[in-house]
Structure 1
Amino acid sequence: MNNTYIFLLARFIHVVAGVTWAGALIFISWLLLPALRGAGPAGGVVMQQLVRVQSLPKQLIALMALTILSGLSLFYLDISAFGPAWVHTGPGRTFSLGAAFGILAAVYGMFVNAPAAKRMGALGALVQASGGPPSAEQAAELGRLQGRLYNAGRVIMVLILIAVTCMGVARYIP
């Protein structure tokens, strides 16, 4: 398979996975989490459905991995085609900056969001298994975790928007 086809395949994967990953993260942090937060206990039921039944975290991780790996492949292919000096051009620097923000969003999601979501899911399952409403302590912990997810989601949304913007304009930077 020649480099043109490899490039086109990597670009297709990067664009489709990246748009889906970014769109999902923006939707979740801008619309879904605030709505779930406002819905109170009913929001927890919806979140459990998304996490446990729909496997939202696993799907986001798969999209993230496809986006980053295909992006790194594209970066390698560009360096191979244009030489190492390409990294110091306007497009090279802008793609690098976008990649850094995208990877930072992924790392932030894995080390801030994922543990909070996992703890929230476990606590929600414990409350559900008890058959009653959460205790005052459980409700406080759920509220704290919900706030952490909300705030981290906003940070990730900004990082992703910067990454997407860099990727979209890189070829036009002199």
Structure 2
Amino acid sequence: MDFGGLILVARGVHVLGGVVWAGFVLLAWVIMPALAKQPDQAKLVPRLTGPAALLTLLSGIYLMATLHPGDTSNTGLALKVGALAAVLSIVVGAALIGPRSNKLLRAARGEIALDPQLRGRLQTTLSFATKLNTVLMLIAVLAMATARYL
């Protein structure tokens, strides 16, 4: 692997590691203490995730339009791939993860009744959607982190 390839890998590992680290710190500092005090505070997750996703998307659109208008280079292509993955992640979260998580949470609280088959389908879909969302976010983060080195 040449020097440029090593820089690309190091940059990807550095940024991805930082995102995971920061995510876990936020989880440990904000989410887990709230859930330990009141389990019904699970609503904090979408209340933090939704606005963060929206702000990230809007600032990304601004940056792309301002710094890379019409960019057809490898950098521009990587940024577009990352942006597409991020948008798809928002769609997966809003269409698949959020509604199923809410329904399962309401059932766990006893607010609604779910038959075992429906609960199983909801959990299976939620598991798949969460894995898909993780892959999409990994693509987005790595594409954005390494774009300038391509």
2:59 to 57, 67, 70: 70
Question: TM (normalized to structure 2)?
Answer: 0.68
Contact 1:92/1:170, CA 8 A, preserved across alignment: yes
Alignment size in residue pairs: 122
Map of 2:9 onto structure 1: none
**Larger Rg: 1 or 2?**
1
Aligned-residue CA RMSD in angstroms? 3.1
Map of 1:95 onto structure 2: 79
Unaligned 5+ residue runs, structure 1?
1-14, 28-44
1:142 to 107, 114, 119: 119
CA distance in 1, matches of 2:138, 2:108: 31
Contact 1:123/1:138, CA 8 A, preserved across alignment: no
Using CA pairs under 8 Å that are at least 6 residues apart, name the structure with larger relative contact order, 1 or 2.
Answer: 2
Moved over 6 A (4+): none
Helix, strand or coil: the match of 1:88? coil
Question: Is 1:171 paired with 2:131?
Answer: no
Map of 1:61 onto structure 2: 50
State the shift of 1:121 in Å: 2.3
- Note the alpha carbon deviations across 1:43-74, whole angstroms, 9 max, x for none: xx99x54524xx11111101111111111111
Identity %: 28
CA distance in 1, matches of 2:128, 2:75: 32
Map of 1:156 onto structure 2: 133
